[in-house]
Amino acid sequence: MTDSTSAEIYDRGYRVYDGPRTGTGTAVKSVFFASVQRALGLRRKFRYKIAPVLTIMFAYIPALIFVGLAIVIPGDLSGETSDYSGYFGITGIAVMLFTAFVAPELMINDRRTGMFGLYLSSPLEKLHYLVAKVGALVSVMSLVTVLPSLFFVLGYILVGNGPDGFGNTLEVIAKIIFTGLIVAMFYSLIGMAISTVTNRQGVASAIIIMFFLTSAFLTNSLVFEADAPDWILALSFVELPVDVAARIFDEAQNQLDGVSTSVSMGTLVGVLAVSLATIWFGYQRIEVTK
């Protein structure tokens, strides 16, 4: 038995933190990089890497095929900018699946594990947290919207079938980056908005997929079967980003025939605004005790 008379108490007093204080900016960067790592399965078990790796690979496969054909079958296969805008439609399934996997993973997990409250115990506010999450998700989504299309163009340039002239090449590359970021933002914000209204990742993923597929089915059925106005096609969220891409590239044949540019662009902006509002007000209702 320990002799209680030999016990000693050491009073070290209150010690003030004297390390570097990097502020809100560094906190936002920490959330950003942690979210990117989680989305890609980095520093996690192998099973968490399977879905992101497969969806990213799926986005690059068409580019590999097209470039391979350009090498095997020489000829001008890609001189029109419309070919480049059309690539966003080819990778649409990969983008949708990537959204369904990544958005719930980034948003819901923090709320369920209590990390959201822990983040807010730092200099972060809710706005800072959401900015970091949006930035991380758009950056990750760019892996399946921007980079595959750039690879597609650069591959054709290497085999001599790219755009004519240095100026045209820069214009096509700039349009691809701009369009890819818009498409990434479109899918990211919709995925985040849906992930805001439920705390179950599996449910959120299913809702995201059904949201896109149902919108395409309903709008096409209404227009082509029930003679509804053509502008309703703009509510097909599978075809809308592809149509916007075609209009950015000044393609003569757009994805949504009968829908004006103002309606197409306006609908996309409206969807982004509604998604942002859903995310913001959803997180405003979450009570966090610091």
In this predicted structure, the answer to whether residue 149 has a pLDDT above a threshold of 60 is: yes
Mean pLDDT of 18-40: 83
Answer yes or no: is 72 within a domain: yes
pLDDT of residue 132: 94
Q: What is the pLDDT of residues 10-22, one digit of tens each?
A: 555 556 656 666 6
- pLDDT of 290 reads 55
Tell me, yes or no, whether 127 lies in a domain: yes
**11, part of any domain:** no
- pLDDT tier at 79 (50, 70, 90 boundaries)? very low
Per-residue pLDDT at 80: 44
Alpha helices for the chain (secondary structure H): 23-40, 47-72, 81-90, 92-113, 115-120, 126-145, 147-158, 165-196, 201-225, 240-248, 261-284
Q: Work out the angle at residue 283's Cα, subtended by the Cα atoms of residues 281 and 288, and round it to the nearest 5 degrees.
A: 135
Q: Please, which contacts does 252-256 make with residues 24 or more away whose CB atoms are closer than 8 Å? A: 252/82, 253/82, 255/89, 256/230
**Structurally, how many domains does the chain consist of?**
1
Q: How far is CA 138 from each of CA 135, 181, 184, 187, 260, rounded to the nearest angstrom?
A: 5, 7, 5, 9, 27
Range of the domain at 62: 23-284
* pLDDT exceeds 60 at position 238: yes
Higher pLDDT, 195 or 63: 195
pLDDT band, residue 142 (cuts 50/70/90): very high
d(CA 131, CA 142): 16
Q: Is the pLDDT of residue 226 over 70?
A: yes
Mean pLDDT of the chain: 84
Lookup: tokens for 238: 């599978």
pLDDT above 50 for 63:
yes
Please write the tens of the pLDDT for every residue from 155-190.
777 777 777 788 888 888 999 999 999 999 999 999
Does any domain span residue 4? no
pLDDT digits (tens, 9 = 90+) for 239-278: 999 999 988 887 655 668 788 889 999 999 999 999 999 9
Distances (CA, A) of 94 to 57, 145, 200, 225: 9, 9, 22, 29
Lowest mean pLDDT among 16-30, 78-92, 226-240: 78-92
Residue 139 covered by a domain: yes
Taking 80 as the threshold, does the pLDDT of residue 77 lie above it? Answer: no
| Per-residue pLDDT, 49 | 84
Residue 187 domain flag: yes
Residue 174: Cβ-neighbour burial (10 angstroms; 0-12, 13-18, 19+)? exposed
Domain annotation covers residue 270: yes
Tell me what pLDDT residue 82 has: 45
Is it the case that residue 9 has pLDDT exceeding 70?
A: no
> How much is the pLDDT for 8?
65
> Is 195 among the domain residues?
yes
Contact 221, 159 (CB under 8 A): no
What are residue 162's phi and psi, to 5 degrees? -85, -170
